[in-house]
Amino acid sequence: MSLIEPEGVRGQSTTRRRRTLRLRTLLIWLAVLPTLAMGTQVAVTAQRLLAQSERLRADVAAAEKVGAPLYTLMIDMQAERTLTASLWAGAAGTEEALSMRREATDRAAAEFRRLAAGSDAFFEDVNRRLDSLAVYRQRADARSGGADGTLTYYTGVIDAVIQAYQLDFSHADDAELTKESRTVVSMLSATEMVAREDTLLALAGPSRELNSAGFDQFVGALGAHRYLYDTWVAPYLPPEDRRFYERIVASPDWQTKIRIEKAILSKHTDVASGIKLPAEVAGWRSAHENFSVQLATFNVDRARKMLARGEAKAAELDTEVAWLIGGSGGGLLVVVAVVVFTTRSVLRRLHDLHERTVTVAEETLPDVVARLQRGQSVDVDALPAVRGDRDEVGRINDAFARAVAVSVDGHRQLAAERHGFGLFASGIASRTGNLVSRQLSLTEDLQDTFGHDEALLAQLMRADQLTVGMRRQIENLLILSGGEVPDPHTEPMRVADLLREAAAEVEEFRRIERHALDEISVEPRVISQISHLLAELLDNATRFSPPRSKVVIRAETVAGGLSVEIEDRGPRVTPERYEEMNGRLHQAPPYSVLAQNAHRLGLFVVGHLADQLGATVTLRRSVYGGTAAVVILPGELLAATEAEAPHRPVPEPEPELVLAQASPAASAAAPAPRLPGAPTPEPVPRTAAGLPSRRTTVPAPASGPPVRPALPERVPQTHIAEQLRAPSAPEPAARPDTETPEEVADAWADYEHGTQTVEEELRRDQP
């Protein structure tokens, strides 16, 4: 794609282009996604911690609400079980103590049922087992069903209570609380094992006899409570609780317990009914009543510390959530601030880079290219420089600077080549111009020598006109190659003379009518350029109009300077074609466009000359159907004309008519009378044969740098006899038309042939 070609798709693409997101959108997403992820993680973590805190608070509230009555129920059930065993053993005075204990158990069960209503399902098993309490009491009172079944019922209720503690107050999501709750449950289980020992010794009664199953249960309870205290309680106690436990273990009652247990294990005897316990068991009751109170106190104190620890842990979780939310919010704000600052910094740098790039692409680089094309120097400081930045934006800027440098170097080389080609073309034009000058001098000499021969003189004038056309084409080459046409004039020239000089440059000059409507002159430094511009337009008008039609050129002053209008009777041209031609007139084309229109260089030459003169040239449709070229010359190119008597402008007579009216002898003998007020013609040097001589004298060049050699300049019509320069004599009365119908038909045939030829050429020139 060309650099000046507008962006777009020439045809339907076979592959669908991927949609490209803007860098601003990508940066925003780069900031939003991590922020959302971080916010989501914070929210999830905070929710999890809050849920854990809620569960801890709920467990603490449930423990404070149900835990104490549940522990009281367990202690009462253990005491009632022991008294029930004593009742089965036939101990004296047991009924009254058992009745009082049952009342205490009923009160504890009622309180538990009231507080546990609507609580967790962990307490449902305890409630379900308590429903059978009355049935087993009746069996115990009636001594039916056996003691083992009744005692097993009580043990099942107590195990359900311990299981409720274990399930309801264990915290798997907090390791410390889980460890503490496990210690408390182990202490309750150990206490239950000691209570079972008490129940089995009470079942032995005064006879101190147990069946084998009862003795096995005693041994199992003994081993279990020692294992629990040594493995799951003592190692996990804090220092203060450990000291309290050590005091219990070192107490006389606990030592009595240990001595009795050892005696039972070592001194029991087998009897026919089972196992006979030693006499030391008599001291168990008093020792148990003392250390059981200490164990209960130890268990309750440990449970309360666990609940306090749970409350503190819940507060810690709330504080952690607060710090998490606050810290995360602050972190998010910092992240957002950093992202916003980074995004704005990157976008600002990219915006500055875009502005610099657009400025270089739309202003600096075109100006540099234009200066290089004009052969002027370039300010290197105005171009982007490679700064060697290490970041991505800096590398992009350096890459663009390198691309601009390569482009400028290419245009500089192209401008140098174009300048060299212009010098080459100018040299060729100068050498060719010298040959043409010699040809014109030779033609002058022939005119001087054979001026008496009218037929030969006409042919010489024809050759002279073709040579003048050759010189104009050479000047076109000089203009298009960047050179300037030297101007030998040193005095201002009247507009009428300027129009005459421009018309003389055209091969069909006899078809041109000149009208200078105002007395104004042109500065001498631009006479040749204006004459050449008008000659090109007149030549174009004569070539693209019917052979026998007239081409009118008129000049008059306007507000902005001098207006010169050239009007022909050529074929109609479309508005689009006028727009295209005016574009060539208003803008100097590059060599590529010149190469594509090598057969139509006249408009380009006019455009170059108009650009040098500061004039405007516009083509439009004439009122006669042909084309009108309007040239507006600025006022600074004009000069005031010396005051003369006012006179009406008279169209210049055609040379053919003057020659037809006067014989060569008469023309050479006496000049025609001058009209009153007519301007005095400037003196013209003459040759030995009496013919006007060409003005080839060129002023000496001013001091300064060498310029291209100037082409010899020809002053048109100076070779014409003086009689032809004077106004024509009044024409005689119109003679009757003596042309035959055949001659009229031939004239119309010539007109149609010329029109068809012009239309054919126009069709070939259209793209």
Residue 201: pLDDT band with limits 50, 70, 90: very high
Strand order in the sheet with 616-621: 512-516, 551-558, 561-567, 627-634, 616-621
Backbone φ and ψ for 680, nearest 5 degrees, come out as -75, 125
Q: Is residue 211 located within the same domain as residue 241? A: yes
In the block, tokens 């060409």 appear at 694
Q: Which of 462, 483, 504 is the last residue of a domain?
A: 483
Residue 252 belongs to a domain: yes
pLDDT at site 461 = 82
Q: Is residue 450 located within the same domain as residue 544? A: no
Q: Which of 610, 626, 643 is the last residue of a domain?
A: 643
Amino acid found at 522: V
Cα separation, 568 vs 343, in Å, equals 68
Cα separation, 164 vs 677, in Å, equals 142
CATH code of the domain in which 596 resides: 3.30.565.10
Residue 439 has pLDDT above 70, yes or no: yes
Cα separation, 652 vs 657, in Å, equals 11
Residue 666 belongs to a domain: no
Residue 88 belongs to a domain: yes
Spell out the long-range contacts of 652-656 with Cβ–Cβ below 8 A and sequence spacing 24 or more.
652/500, 652/514, 653/727, 653/728, 654/510, 655/510, 655/720, 655/724, 656/510
pLDDT at site 649 = 45
Q: Cα–Cα distances in Å, from 56 out to 63, 165, 176, 318, 575?
A: 10, 14, 12, 11, 93
Query: Are 499 and 518 contacting, i.e. CB atoms less than 8 angstroms apart?
Result: no
pLDDT at site 651 = 46
pLDDT at site 607 = 84
Q: Which of 625, 643, 661 is the last residue of a domain?
A: 643
Give, as one character, the DSSP assignment of residue 670: S
Residue 264: pLDDT band with limits 50, 70, 90: very high
Q: Is residue 248 located within the same domain as residue 313? A: yes
In the block, tokens 């200490």 appear at 294
Residue 479 belongs to a domain: yes
Q: Is residue 479 located within the same domain as residue 498? A: no
Residue 487 has pLDDT above 60, yes or no: yes
In the block, tokens 């590529």 appear at 592
Distance of CA 204 to the CA centre of its chain: 96
Pull the structure tokens for residue 554. Answer: 């008129």
Q: Is residue 457 located within the same domain as residue 530? A: no
Residue 80 has pLDDT above 90, yes or no: yes
Residue 610 belongs to a domain: yes
Query: Are 558 and 518 contacting, i.e. CB atoms less than 8 angstroms apart?
Result: no
Backbone φ and ψ for 135, nearest 5 degrees, come out as -65, -45
Percentage of the chain lying above the pLDDT 90 cut: 26
| 401: helix, strand or coil | helix
* 627: Cβ contacts below 8 Å, ≥ 6 apart: 541, 544, 567, 568, 570, 573, 619, 620, 621
What does the pLDDT look like over 61-74, one tens digit per residue?
A: 777 788 888 899 99
Residue 33 belongs to a domain: no
Q: Is residue 136 located within the same domain as residue 237? A: yes
Q: Is residue 74 located within the same domain as residue 148? A: yes
DSSP string, 455-514: HHHHHHHHHHHHHHHHHHHHHHHHHHTT--------S-EEHHHHHHHHHHTSTTGGGEEE
Q: Is residue 193 located within the same domain as residue 115? A: yes
Residue 154: pLDDT band with limits 50, 70, 90: very high
Q: Is residue 178 located within the same domain as residue 214? A: yes
Residue 694 has pLDDT above 80, yes or no: no
Q: Is residue 288 located within the same domain as residue 420? A: no
Q: Is residue 468 located within the same domain as residue 491? A: no
Residue 682 has pLDDT above 60, yes or no: no
Number of domains in the chain: 3
Residue 504 structural domain:
485-643
Residue 54 belongs to a domain: yes
Residue 310 belongs to a domain: yes
Q: Is residue 44 located within the same domain as residue 159? A: yes
Pull the structure tokens for residue 530. Answer: 């204006």
Instruction: With 0.85 as the threshold, say if the pTM is over it.
Output: no
Q: Which residue has the higher pLDDT, 311 or 672?
A: 311
Strand order in the sheet with 493-494: 493-494, 521-522, 638-639
